[in-house]
Structure 1
């Protein structure tokens, strides 16, 4: 299965916010790589997916108290 790039607009404003979601994203099945651009006004989360869905990523972010919405 090839990697699919998913992008999300988030409320992950700083390194502290990113560190709260890091363990969940690092340990999630179906994510090969991810990063958050906190310099971008929309705080873009980019996920290289090996099977995880957009809804699953959004669910992980929401479970930590942040918002994420898919960018198409």
Structure 2
């Protein structure tokens, strides 16, 4: 299992509600979370199959930006 980390523009619960169905629908994602308390609104994704670009495209599909960090 690899953990991918992204800085996002997901800022609130409403934003989270928009991205949740898109990320939950992706079967290759084992677990994910967004830290709304962090200044960078960090998205953490656990997956064995997806690349950072794959996750970035999923977040973009929901209308948000994600930039991989680390």
TM-score range, shorter chain: over 0.9
Give, in whole Å, the separation in 1 of the partners of 2:8 and 2:67: 7
Structure 1 residue ranges (4+ consecutive) displaced by more than 3 angstroms after TM superposition: none
Partner of 1:60: 58
Pairwise CA RMSD: 0.8
Q: 1:29, 1:52 within 8 Å by CA — same for their partners in 2?
A: no
Aligned length: 70
Alignment deviations for residues 48-72 of structure 1 (CA, whole Å, 9 cap, x no partner)? 0121111111001111221100001
Q: TM-score, normalised by structure 2?
A: 0.94
| Alignment counterpart, residue 20 of structure 2, candidates 15, 19, 22 | 22
